[in-house]
């Protein structure tokens, strides 16, 4: 799992939030919006995109996604 901060997010705020929340995954900076464009654009945050082992997008969801739902989605892909 990798978090991607949007191009409009200030890097210092991203670092502060990711450390402050104790996120158990790395957060990348999408400084020029290239990652967002590669996934067809992002209308709002948070947006979760689950990609399977073959590189296919199997879930795209805007809004919060709790750990239990995430585990239920990932489990069958393992």
Asked if pLDDT for residue 10 goes beyond 90, the answer is: yes
What pLDDT score was predicted for residue 78?
Answer: 86
Cβ of 52: how many Cβ atoms within 10 Å? 13
Quick one: which of 52, 51, 49 has its CA closest to 60?
49
Within 8 A by CB and 6+ apart from 7, the residues are 30, 31, 32, 33, 36
* Residue range 11-70, pLDDT digits in tens: 999 999 989 988 888 999 999 999 999 999 998 888 889 899 899 998 898 988 888 888
> Does pTM top 0.85 for this prediction?
no
pLDDT, position 8: 93
């Amino acid at each position: 799992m990798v978090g991607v901060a949007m191009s409009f997010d200030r890097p210092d705020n991203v670092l502060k939030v990711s450390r402050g929340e104790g996120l158990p995954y790395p957060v990348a900076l999408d400084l020029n919006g290239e990652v967002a464009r590669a996934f067809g654009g992002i209308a709002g945050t948070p947006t979760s995109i689950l990609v399977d082992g073959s590189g296919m997008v199997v879930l795209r969801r805007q809004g919060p996604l709790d750990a239990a739902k995430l585990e239920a989605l990932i489990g069958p892909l393992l």
